[in-house]
């Protein structure tokens, strides 16, 4: 399809091989005439370790057994029984053998073309009256093939057989050079939550899935004059001539080869496509854009494909701006902790029970930024850890201050990410924050999202158990948005289920939503768990939730999130 670029200079590689490989290389001489075997052995023995075979069958036996150690085969074409042509054909048709170079030995000059067509690397005529020439040709052939094999070993991903990322990018540039007028699509393919598959089914099954998908993508790329690579553990890139049905074609290809390892594995795969990618843009940047589109639907199981457009680039620039400004915002006091009251409603009149700490950012140039914008960005780049710690310390300090000033204890819940829970010393850090603020575990509640329990679950559960042993209460946040099974729910160390607001929205007009809340209440009652409903906005929602037995609610019906001074007034009113 196109010319292979010269990625590695053969002369430099040969010098490397001379320096590194000190042992004698092993050569197999295949000839039915004993005098020829002896003559070649004498010529070669000073430089090489020589094995001999008197016929084709013996040659194949040695080649099969010594395939990893042979550096070269010297093969006579005309032998009784299995001749050299048959041996050569078998070598070239066997993947594990065809990396061994073969030099043909014959006195028949007309056989040269046919043997080269069958894959011979070179041709040495009989009789062997020029030993120096023979040695020179053997040395050059071995060096060339060793260099080529090293290049191939670094060129391909060993698990899937696809190009690795570096070679893929080089080939993509070559395609641009040879097909200047062709519009090309940059495509990123990724598997949602692949590490969960590995944990549940094991590494062997995980590798089979990666190979299966890799094979499908390679076949699709070759069918459409494109190329494919594996760029990381569970991600792939493709560079393809532009087509309107790229996504559907790729999806159908993966479905067609599914072998039942995991049911509906194709439903876990997401695609990011940068159609008609701009060649003025650096090749790595083009695939960054495809990956940006792919990651924009990460965790969204309703969408499988996303197309890159300029708004994504604008959002990426915006994200980088927020990331760059976060430290300054913390040091200048631009981040504020707001509090949203939670009310207990299973009493004659609802009363203030606790509150949730929520972060707000008053940016000096961009104004008040919604946490829905900056929190996902900081979760993605790991900066959420620093922001979480700010919220924990500020919320703990505020609980202690209200307690000292007014003698009133108001439990406050703070959000904890999976990243936080996985950090060494997390439990000790929480204990230290409470001690410093002079508050008790009953006053400092931790909200952990449901999805956190389904990732690295054993480790997360262990940490949460340690926290509960200190007397802390744990809320499962966003219940109903993750994938925890009922069996898993019964074994999780939690005290409170917090219903996602998606359950509450339109509950007064949607019978199914109401039935789901009633079902959750039955489960919670059986497991002796409290239930919190968030996003409560109307009196009708409040009355229905009270009727179903929901214990606590928060939302605009009672109060939107407010600054600490306003929360203090609510607290003092009781």
Residue 486 — pLDDT band, cuts 50, 70, 90? low
Q: Which residues contact 424 (CB under 8 A, 6 or more apart)?
A: none
> Which residue did the predictor score with more confidence, 503 or 218?
218
pLDDT score recorded for residue 1: 43
The CATH architecture one would assign to domain 340-355+382-573 is Alpha-Beta Barrel (3.20)
In the numeric block, the tokens 């000073």 are attached to 46
- Fold classification of 165-308 (topology level): Alpha-Beta Plaits (3.30.70)
The number of C-alpha atoms within 13 Å of 116 and in the hemisphere containing its C-beta is 8
Cβ–Cβ contacts within 10 Å for residue 557, how many?
18
Token pair belonging to 420: 């936080």
Instruction: Give the mean pLDDT of 481-487.
Output: 53
> Of the candidates 53, 47, 321, 7, which has an alpha carbon nearest to the alpha carbon of residue 169?
7
pLDDT in tens, 285-295: 999 999 999 98
d(CA 523, CA 516): 11
The per-residue pLDDT of the chain, averaged, comes to 86
CA separation for the pair 304, 318 (Å, rounded): 25
Q: Which of 118-122, 146-150, 354-358 has the lowest mean pLDDT?
A: 146-150
Greatest Cα pair distance in the chain: 111
- In the predicted model, what is the mean pLDDT of residues 132-149? 86
Element (H, E) at 349: none
Query: Which two structure tokens, joined as six digits, stand for 301?
Result: 């199981």
- Structure tokens, 107: 């006195």
pLDDT of residue 401: 96
The three-state secondary structure class of 369 is strand
Q: Which residue has the higher pLDDT, 520 or 481?
A: 520
Tens of pLDDT, residues 386-424: 999 999 999 999 999 999 999 999 999 999 988 888 888
Cα–Cα distance, 508 to 539 (Å, whole number): 10
The closest alpha carbon to 190, from 254, 249, 234, belongs to: 234
Between β-strands 25-30 and 70-76, what pairing exists: parallel, antiparallel or unpaired? parallel
pLDDT tens per residue, range 302-316:
789 999 987 777 777
Strand partners, 323: none
Question: What's the Cα-to-Cα distance from 218 to each of 171, 284, 363, rounded to whole Å?
Answer: 14, 20, 47
Q: Give the tokens for residue 500.
A: 């996602």
Q: What is the mean pLDDT of residues 231-238?
A: 92
Per-residue model confidence as pLDDT tens digits over 504-535: 888 888 888 888 889 889 988 988 999 999 99
Give residue-wise pLDDT tens across range 338-350: 999 999 999 999 9
- With cut-offs at 50, 70 and 90, classify the pLDDT of residue 473: very high
Place of tokens 């993750």: 482
- 3-class state of residue 271 by DSSP: strand
pLDDT at 216: 92
Provide the pLDDT for residue 310.
Answer: 75
Is the Cα dihedral 538, 543, 548, 549 positive or negative? positive
Q: With beta carbons less than 8 A apart as the criterion, state whether 229 and 162 touch.
A: yes
Helix ranges (H only) for 94-236 are: 111-117, 131-155, 165-178, 194-201, 203-223
Find tokens 């949460």 and name the residue. 464
Q: What is the mean pLDDT of residues 161-184?
A: 89
pLDDT of residue 428: 93
- Per-residue pLDDT at 256: 78
Q: Phi then psi for 172, rounded to 5 degrees?
A: -60, -40
Average pLDDT over residues 552-566: 95
Q: Which CATH class is domain 10-155?
A: alpha beta
pLDDT at 326: 95
Picking from 1-10, 171-180, 246-255, 546-555, which range would have the lowest pLDDT averaged per residue?
1-10
Angle at 501 between CA 498 and CA 507, to 5 degrees: 115
Report the pLDDT averaged over residues 20-27.
Answer: 68
Query: What is the per-residue pLDDT for 167?
Result: 87
356: pLDDT confidence band, cut at 50, 70 and 90?
Answer: very high
Kindly state the DSSP code that residue 5 receives in the 8-state scheme: P
Cis peptide before 111 (omega within 30 of 0): no
Nearest by Cα to 32 from 14, 57, 15: 57
Residue 321 CB partners (closer than 8 Å, separation 6+):
none
> Please, are residues 55 and 32 in contact by the beta-carbon 8 Å criterion?
yes
Q: Which two tokens stand for residue 156?
A: 């391909």
Beta strand pairing status for 227-232 and 102-106?
Answer: unpaired
Residue 6 has what pLDDT?
46
Phi/psi at 327 (5° precision): -60, -40
Residues of CATH 3.30.70.270 domain(s) within the chain? Answer: 165-308
Residue whose entry in the numeric block shows the structure tokens 């559960």: 461
**DSSP symbol at 265:** G
* C-alpha to C-alpha distance for 65 and 59, rounded to whole angstroms: 10
pLDDT of residue 458: 75
Other beta carbons within 10 angstroms of residue 497's beta carbon come to 25
- pTM, full prediction: 0.58
In this predicted structure, what is the pLDDT of residue 92?
85
Position 23 scores a pLDDT of 60
List, by residue range, all CATH 3.40.50.2300 domains of the chain.
Answer: 10-155
- Print burial letters for 97-128: b (CB count within 10 Å at least 16), e (below 16): bebbbbbbbbeeeebbeebeebebbbbbeeee
Q: Can you count the helices (H) and strands (E) in the chain? A: 23, 19
Q: Where in the chain is the domain with CATH 3.20.20.450?
A: 340-355+382-573
Structure tokens given for 40: 């070649």
Neighbours of 152 (CB within 10 A): 11
| Count of CB atoms situated within 10 Å of the CB of 356 | 23
| Choice among 41-45, 187-191, 229-233, 416-420 with the minimum mean pLDDT | 416-420
- Three-class SS state of 281: coil
Q: How many CB atoms lie within 10 A of CB 447?
A: 18
pLDDT for 194-227, tens place per residue?
Answer: 766 776 677 888 888 899 999 999 999 999 999 9
Of residues 1 and 552, which shows the higher confidence score? Answer: 552
**pLDDT, position 21:** 44
């Amino acid at each position: 399809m196109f010319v292979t670029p010269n990625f590695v200079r053969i002369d430099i590689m040969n010098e490397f091989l001379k320096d590194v490989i000190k042992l004698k290389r092993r050569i197999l001489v295949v000839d039915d005439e004993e005098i020829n075997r002896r003559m070649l052995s004498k010529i070669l023995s000073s430089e090489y370790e020589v094995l001999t075979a008197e016929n084709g069958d013996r040659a194949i036996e040695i080649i099969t057994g010594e395939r990893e150690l042979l550096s070269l085969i010297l093969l006579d074409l005309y032998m009784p029984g299995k001749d050299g042509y048959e041996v050569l054909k078998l070598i070239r048709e066997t993947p594990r053998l065809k990396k061994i170079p073969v030099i043909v030995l014959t006195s028949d000059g007309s056989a040269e073309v046919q043997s080269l067509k069958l894959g011979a690397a070179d041709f040495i005529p009989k009789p062997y009256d020029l030993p120096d020439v023979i040695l020179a040709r053997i040395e050059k052939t071995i060096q060339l093939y060793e260099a080529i094999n090293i290049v191939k070993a670094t060129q391909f991903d060993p698990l899937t057989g696809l190009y690795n990322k570096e070679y893929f990018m080089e080939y993509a540039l070559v395609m641009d050079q040879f097909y200047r007028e062709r519009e090309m699509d940059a495509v990123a393919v990724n598997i949602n939550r692949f590490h969960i598959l590995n944990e549940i089914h094991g590494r062997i099954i995980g590798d089979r899935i990666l190979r299966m998908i890799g094979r499908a993508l390679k076949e699709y790329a070759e069918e459409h004059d494109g190329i494919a690579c594996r760029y990381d553990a569970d991600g792939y890139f493709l560079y393809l001539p532009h087509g309107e049905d790229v996504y559907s074609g790729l999806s159908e290809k993966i479905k067609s080869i599914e072998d039942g390892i995991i049911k509906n594995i194709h439903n876990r795969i997401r695609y990011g496509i940068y159609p008609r990618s701009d060649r003025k843009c650096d090749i790595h940047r083009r695939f960054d854009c495809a990956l940006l589109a792919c990651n924009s639907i990460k965790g969204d199981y309703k969408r499988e494909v996303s197309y890159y457009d300029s708004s994504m680039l604008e959002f990426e620039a915006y994200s980088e701006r927020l990331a760059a400004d976060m430290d300054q915002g913390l040091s200048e006091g631009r981040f504020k902790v707001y509090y949203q009251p939670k009310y207990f409603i299973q009493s004659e009149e609802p009363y203030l029970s606790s509150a949730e700490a929520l972060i707000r950012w008053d940016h000096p140039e961009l104004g008040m930024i919604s946490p829905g914008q900056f929190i996902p960005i900081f979760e993605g780049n790991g900066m959420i850890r620093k922001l979480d710690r700010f919220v924990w310390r500020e919320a703990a300090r505020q609980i202690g201050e209200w307690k000292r000033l007014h003698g009133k204890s108001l439990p406050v819940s703070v959000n904890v990410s999976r990243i936080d829970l996985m950090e060494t010393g997390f439990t000790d850090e929480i204990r230290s924050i409470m001690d410093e603020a002079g508050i008790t575990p009953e006053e400092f509640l931790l909200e952990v999202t449901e999805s956190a329990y389904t990732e690295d679950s054993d480790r997360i559960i262990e940490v949460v158990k340690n926290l509960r042993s200190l007397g802390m209460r744990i809320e499962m946040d966003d219940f109903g948005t993750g994938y925890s099974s009922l069996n898993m729910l019964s074994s999780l160390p939690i005290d409170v289920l917090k219903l996602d607001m998606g359950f509450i929205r339109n509950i007064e007009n949607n019978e199914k939503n109401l039935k789901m809340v009633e079902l959750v209440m039955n489960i919670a009652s059986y497991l002796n768990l409290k239930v919190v409903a968030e996003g409560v906005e109307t009196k009708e929602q409040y009355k229905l939730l009270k009727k179903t037995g929901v214990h606590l609610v928060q939302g605009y019906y009672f109060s939107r999130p407010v600054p600490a001074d306003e929360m203090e007034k609510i607290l003092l009113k009781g």
